[in-house]
Amino acid sequence: MTRPVPQLFFLAAITAVLMLASCGGGGSGSGTPDTTPPTVTAVDPPDNAVGVQLTDPIIVTFSETIDPASVGANSFVVRNSAGTAANGTVSASGRTARFTPAPGALVKSALYQATLTPGIRDSAGNALAADFTWNFTTTTDAWLSTAIAASTATPRADHTAIWTGNEMVVWGGADTIGVTNTGARYNPSTNTWTETETSGAPLARTGHTAVWTGSEILVWGGDLGGILGSTNTGGRYLPTAGAGSWSVAPGMNNSGLLGRRLHTAVWTGSEMIVWGGLTDAGILAGNGARYRPATDSWTNVSSSGAPSPRSGHTAVWTGTEMIVWGGNEFAPAIVGTGGRFRPATGDWRSVSIVGAPSARTGHTAIWTGTEMIVWGGNDGLPTNTGARYNPASDTWSKIADAPAALTGHTAIWTGTEMIVWGGDSSSDRGYAYRPSTNTWRATTITAAPTPRRNHTAVWTGSEMIVWGGVDTTGGITNAGGRYAP
């Protein structure tokens, strides 16, 4: 009887193991075949973005590595409203795909739709489950003037302006006579103004704050002017039909705080948080309070771990916490520090100073959804510098320097860009900063409003409305403009 050769036993065993592994029976570590389709996790520009630059790449991030050979002109398409595909170069690497428009492929003020088809596959060969589409509108970069209605929107500066979802409501400030408690509502769809109710309105003031709750405007604090000084009173305005109405809220005037101006206020979704500011006799405030409209009541903000007392600082709401930064600490000192207050726990946390912008006042801060961008202001001289703060990692990253320095300007966030405009050191120019590319562009000056400071700006979802302020002659204006990026 012939005995098997030992080497044959060894080869047979190896073959059996390989066959078992190929069938998925190798246990843990053998790997289960990937049958999960890839999904889209992010797009840039986001859906319904406006002001997209004509040369900006359209970028998609997937849930897993994509087969670059599957991403091409037929599987990643950008079309105009007539359905015509735009020329461009398509590429992919790792989990990212990119459409780079050819020169002249996109035009201004146009709506485009980007489409990803199931032709796109992951590295295992799984295709997208269905078409994925989103829309964006390219840059208009144009100004329209706002109507001037002297009887309703009198000239003023140091007022507040709130966007309600369909109107801009301006209130208070200093007019050509003195402080005022009048206001007006501007409807951009009709380019018309309506006077706000004065009966029941708070006392005239300037340097106050205002927040929008989703149904009413909360006004608080400010300077009543003359011997009256700073106040700790406020009011609630309902923008109902016609002139609207002011509601009587006794609790709003019982904050327990000293009257103040140059403070900040943010809306959390259920509370208004006011903090800091300058009280009478030049005393800086390092405290604050939370006002809840549902109960017409206040709760103190803890001072333990809070930033140093200051005024002229900025504050943003992230969705979970209020971040305050910069401002004047002890005149004439300016600071480059800040703090983070979380209402859920009632405590303060520090903001890193590593990589932070230089100490300054007269700056602006906006919240992008993931980062706070601090820019401009005066750090001894007007500056064109700034930085982005990520609270998730408590880190700063410097942003590119802007073409010019501004201080006392305004800033709004469009969803893709921060637009800054006006200020003490400006002409009639503004600049737009795009975090995704860390680049700036100048906004057009054609038909732009006259240069000014102490004005306001709001974002409507498609336009920035600039209004009021002090012009270069020192005069107070009731003119403005609407900028479509």
**Cα–Cα distance for residue pair 213/215, rounded to 1 Å:** 5
C-beta neighbour count of 221 within 10 angstroms: 27
- Sign, CA torsion 462/467/469/473: positive
User: Please, what is the average pLDDT of the chain?
Assistant: 92
**Cα–Cα distance for residue pair 273/416, rounded to 1 Å:** 27
The pLDDT tens digits for 383-416 are 999 999 999 999 999 999 999 999 999 999 999 9
Q: Which of 453, 449, 452, 413 is nearest to 433 (CA)?
A: 413
Fold annotation for 40-138: Immunoglobulin-like (2.60.40)
Residue 43 has, within 13 A of its CA and on its CB side, a CA count of: 20
**Cα–Cα distance for residue pair 334/120, rounded to 1 Å:** 54
Q: 431: burial class by Cβ within 10 Å (0-12, 13-18, 19+)?
A: buried
- Sign, CA torsion 239/245/248/253: positive
C-alpha torsion angle, residues 236, 239, 242, 248 (rounded to 10): -20
List, in sequence order, every beta strand (DSSP E) within 253-332: 264-267, 272-275, 288-292, 297-301, 314-317, 322-325
C-beta neighbour count of 212 within 10 angstroms: 17
Instruction: Please list, residue by residue across 131-154, b when 16 or more beta carbons sit within 10 angstroms of its beta carbon and e when fewer do.
Output: ebebebbbbbbbbeebbebeebbb
Q: How far is CA 202 from the centre of its chain?
A: 29
Same fold, 40-138 and 142-484: no
Domain boundaries, the chain: 40-138, 142-484
Q: Are strands 58-62 and 88-93 parallel, antiparallel or unpaired?
A: unpaired
Average the pLDDT over 218-233 and give the result. Answer: 94
Residue 429 pLDDT more than 60?
Answer: yes
Angle at 469 between CA 453 and CA 266, to 5 degrees: 85
- Sign, CA torsion 193/199/200/206: positive
Residue 71 pLDDT more than 60?
Answer: yes
pLDDT at residue number 151? 81
Q: Are strands 132-138 and 49-52 parallel, antiparallel or unpaired?
A: parallel
Written as one letter, the residue type at 307 is P
DSSP three-state, residue 12: helix
pLDDT at residue number 426? 62
Q: What is the DSSP letter of 435?
A: T
What confidence category does residue 9 fall into, taking pLDDT thresholds of 50, 70 and 90?
very low
DSSP three-state, residue 93: strand
Structural contact between residues 139 and 485, judged by C-beta atoms closer than 8 angstroms: yes
Average the pLDDT over 230-244 and give the result. Answer: 95
The length of the chain, given as a count of residues: 485
DSSP three-state, residue 55: coil
Residue 26 pLDDT more than 50?
Answer: no
**Cα–Cα distance for residue pair 280/222, rounded to 1 Å:** 11
Q: Could you give the percent of the chain with pLDDT greater than 90?
A: 86
pTM of the model: 0.86
DSSP three-state, residue 253: helix
What confidence category does residue 149 fall into, taking pLDDT thresholds of 50, 70 and 90?
confident
Tabulate helix, strand, coil % of the chain (nearest 5). 5, 40, 55
Lookup: tokens for 62: 């997937």
Average the pLDDT over 307-331 and give the result. Answer: 94
**Cα–Cα distance for residue pair 445/428, rounded to 1 Å:** 6
Edge-to-edge strand order for the sheet containing 456-459? 142-145, 480-484, 464-467, 456-459
- Quick one: which H or E segment has residue 160? strand 160-163
Residue 326 pLDDT more than 90?
Answer: yes
pLDDT at residue number 425? 66
What number does CATH give the domain 142-484? 2.120.10.80
What confidence category does residue 330 fall into, taking pLDDT thresholds of 50, 70 and 90?
confident
The pLDDT tens digits for 472-485 are 889 999 999 999 99
Average the pLDDT over 171-194 and give the result. Answer: 95
